[in-house]
Structure 1
Amino acid sequence: MTKIGSEASSLLSAVKDIVPALRANGQQAEDQRWLPVANLDLLEAAGVFRMATPRAFGGLDLSLREQSAVLAEIARGCPSSSWVSMVWVSSAWMVSLFPEELQSEVFKNPSVRISGGFSPTGTLVPAGDGYTLNGTWGFNSGCRGADWNMMLANVERPDGSVDEAVVLVPIDQFTVDDDWNASSLAATGSCTTHARDVHVPAHRVVIPAEAEAAIAAGIELPPPPPGRGYGLYSFLFSQAVATFVGIARGALEMFLERLPGRGISYTAWDDQAEHPVTQIQIGAAASRIAAAEALSEQMYELLQTRADAYEELTLEERGAVRGHSAYAVQLCKEAVEILYSASGASVIKRSVPLQRFHRDIQGLSLHGWIVLNTNLELYGRLLLGKDPQTALL
């Protein structure tokens, strides 16, 4: 098992202390469709937003495993707070792989908050010393409180050629629509953002195809930071699981807290905890959570081992990360469903946080990254020696 260092342990302890406050603020967060200032201040003070920032810029430079442990703990208190934190710190990790000039600019604030949209729904046209950006990106989680926005866009050149690029722009150069009204993850502020004729300096645009061409030409590129070259999609898919694990842990905890003194309506059972079916349900839910945690640990160990050795994951390993991530998510979702269905009619009250956790995990499990059948199909194709039919590995 990957070890957690002293700094990560201190951060994890600090986050555990604020879980009750995060949970208590859950209804306010949902009502205002964005995280309360109190939540953001608590997370900031704990050091959450410095997790992925390199030490050279005043960050903690935590490993994938360590970051995920913190994100799971946040989700135990507030799923939306965890998801937004995940978006911001995973984007910061991505910046740590970029050229030094861009890192120096972005990490002037070690607790930088970077939202992102990973659908190439924008265009970049060469202009002067950079590019002109236009586009619209939906489901932009965390954009309401971000400093920067990291987007995918297509570079359109005069010769007709097109390359996909990652572009980083200060959030104040985007227009943000207040259009996030959702039944789950309501407080993530996943609004739509627009760029209209925004000038982007060349150093803020990274074109993966150019790096691949340089490697093919024998040009040696700088290696990733020591122990942090996890591979983009394997990192994103596996880290996303942490929020689901935390939601399931929180749901189990809240179910057990509500159980004492509860009977089963219209029956002779005046203590639900004594009913064998309830005992089976708790055991089934807890076992699913433990299985999801075990799959996560396996993925984090694999990714860390490869990163420490400066090795890339094999195609089969990358497929396994996608398949196992989706299956861990499914296990967590099933655990929460079991607990919700065993909670009686009073669980539907908005004052009972368990109903929000149930809605959040239902909605979040529909995310395109981690839809079960899509990822299991991909994993199965690779196990059968077939083409995965996707580049998102």
Structure 2
Amino acid sequence: MRFCSVLQARKAVVKQIDGGYLVEEGFWGFGSGSKHATHALLKLNDRESIQQSKNLGMMLAVVPMSEVTIVDDWYTMSLKGSASNSLKIINGVIPENYVVTQDMKQVGSLPVELNGRDRYRPYVQLITSITTGISAILGLARGAVEYFVEKAPQKGITMTIHTSQAAVGHIQSKVGLATMKVESAHLHISRTIGNLERHVQNAEQFSLKEIAQLQTDMTYAAMLCWEAVDLLMAESGGSVIADSNRLSQIFRDIRGGSNHALTNQQSFTTAALHAFESMP
């Protein structure tokens, strides 16, 4: 199966019925990979429903794409190939066993009765952030460094005596700094995965401070990756503004990806501060 996912509904009018849930009206944006997916992972809560029922928690539903309408509205400056179209469901029924309900107040606890892979179920949103969010940004940053290093030996600097970027000292320094930013981002992401694995395997509860650390690690990693690509762009000359330039494509994509709610420094820094303020 191939999934696209949206973890925040713009509108979700959902009623519980015998054996499942009736989605009277649902609208989600943006469903990355929508045109290539076999199933959608959709949050059945919108902001209004969460405010009206604080005990509702988070509901994530697996829905075959055959039951979802793809809205043709993805026209952007970056991530053009992600097919992140909006998704719509009208009067659709989702069986109960295709819905995961998570009480957000208990996000730090791991039910002891869960075994095997089921022990990861309480952390669906965190796992999604790692697999479809920050991992893609890290891959883009690595690709930017590899592309620049591949082209530098044969690329001169216009209106100078330099016939190879690779032979210029300050460019070597910038590439080294960009590389270390990407490697540092990798370390932060590895720590996030390690912390998740340790808590799941030992059935340990996450503290609010630890949750804030996970969020901060991922968003800081995204910032490092974006900064690394920005350094390389500054040394790439005027030709880098062409739409066909691969580094230009990566630059636009990583900027768009870094603005996502799962990896945006501003949104997760705010969440981390709230977590710390809630600690006794």
Whether TM-score is above 0.5 comes out as yes
Go from structure 1 to structure 2 and tell me whether the alpha carbon gap of 1:369 and 1:210 turns closer, same or farther (over 3 Å shift): closer
Query: Given that residues 248 and 336 in structure 1 are in contact (C-alpha distance below 8 angstroms), is that contact kept between their aligned partners in structure 2?
Result: yes
| Counterpart in the other structure of 1:243 | 136
Q: Distance in 2 between matches of 1:143 and 1:375?
A: 26
The reply on whether 1:386 has 2:277 as its aligned counterpart is yes
Query: Amino acid of the residue matched to residue 180 of structure 2?
Result: S
Query: Given that residues 238 and 322 in structure 1 are in contact (C-alpha distance below 8 angstroms), is that contact kept between their aligned partners in structure 2?
Result: no
Go from structure 1 to structure 2 and tell me whether the alpha carbon gap of 1:226 and 1:337 turns closer, same or farther (over 3 Å shift): same
Query: Given that residues 8 and 45 in structure 2 are in contact (C-alpha distance below 8 angstroms), is that contact kept between their aligned partners in structure 1?
Result: no
Query: Given that residues 230 and 307 in structure 1 are in contact (C-alpha distance below 8 angstroms), is that contact kept between their aligned partners in structure 2?
Result: no
Secondary structure of the corresponding residue to residue 182 of structure 1 = coil
Q: Distance in 2 between matches of 1:264 and 1:210?
A: 54
Q: Distance in 2 between matches of 1:211 and 1:273?
A: 53
Go from structure 1 to structure 2 and tell me whether the alpha carbon gap of 1:221 and 1:228 turns closer, same or farther (over 3 Å shift): closer
Query: Given that residues 131 and 199 in structure 1 are in contact (C-alpha distance below 8 angstroms), is that contact kept between their aligned partners in structure 2?
Result: yes
Go from structure 1 to structure 2 and tell me whether the alpha carbon gap of 1:166 and 1:272 turns closer, same or farther (over 3 Å shift): closer
Query: Amino acid of the residue matched to residue 171 of structure 2?
Result: T
Q: Distance in 2 between matches of 1:357 and 1:370?
A: 17
Secondary structure of the corresponding residue to residue 144 of structure 1 = coil
Query: Amino acid of the residue matched to residue 255 of structure 1?
Result: F
Q: Output the TM-score relative to the length of structure 1.
A: 0.62
1:168 is displaced (CA, Å) by: 2.4
Go from structure 1 to structure 2 and tell me whether the alpha carbon gap of 1:154 and 1:373 turns closer, same or farther (over 3 Å shift): closer
| Counterpart in the other structure of 1:139 | 30
| Counterpart in the other structure of 2:99 | 205
Go from structure 1 to structure 2 and tell me whether the alpha carbon gap of 1:307 and 1:332 turns closer, same or farther (over 3 Å shift): same
Q: Distance in 2 between matches of 1:280 and 1:356?
A: 23
Partner of residue 268 from structure 1, selected from 154, 161, 171:
161
Query: Amino acid of the residue matched to residue 43 of structure 2?
Result: L
| Counterpart in the other structure of 2:90 | 196
| Counterpart in the other structure of 1:231 | 123
Partner of residue 170 from structure 2, selected from 270, 274, 277:
277
| Counterpart in the other structure of 2:12 | 122
Query: Amino acid of the residue matched to residue 251 of structure 2?
Result: H
> Hey, which of these two has a bigger chunk of strand by percent?
2
Q: Distance in 1 between matches of 2:104 and 2:271?
A: 27
Q: Distance in 2 between matches of 1:209 and 1:269?
A: 61
Q: Output the TM-score relative to the length of structure 2.
A: 0.85
1:146 is displaced (CA, Å) by: 1.7
| Counterpart in the other structure of 2:61 | 167
Q: Distance in 2 between matches of 1:286 and 1:140?
A: 31
Encode CA deviations 1:181-232: one digit per residue, 9 max, x unaligned: 11111111111111111122333333334997xx9xxx97534627746723
1:241 is displaced (CA, Å) by: 1.7
| Counterpart in the other structure of 1:72 | none
Q: Distance in 1 between matches of 2:64 and 2:119?
A: 28
Gap runs ≥5 in structure 2: none
Query: Given that residues 145 and 178 in structure 2 are in contact (C-alpha distance below 8 angstroms), is that contact kept between their aligned partners in structure 1?
Result: yes
- The count of corresponding residues between Structure 1 and Structure 2 is 268
1:243 is displaced (CA, Å) by: 1.2
- Report percent identity of matched pairs: 25
Q: Distance in 1 between matches of 2:273 and 2:120?
A: 28
Encode CA deviations 1:273-332: one digit per residue, 9 max, x unaligned: 222221111111011011111111222222212222122322211110100110011001
Gap runs ≥5 in structure 1: 1-111, 389-393
| Counterpart in the other structure of 1:153 | 44
Alignment of 1:305-384 (within 5 A): 305-380=198-273, 382=275
Query: Amino acid of the residue matched to residue 365 of structure 1?
Result: S
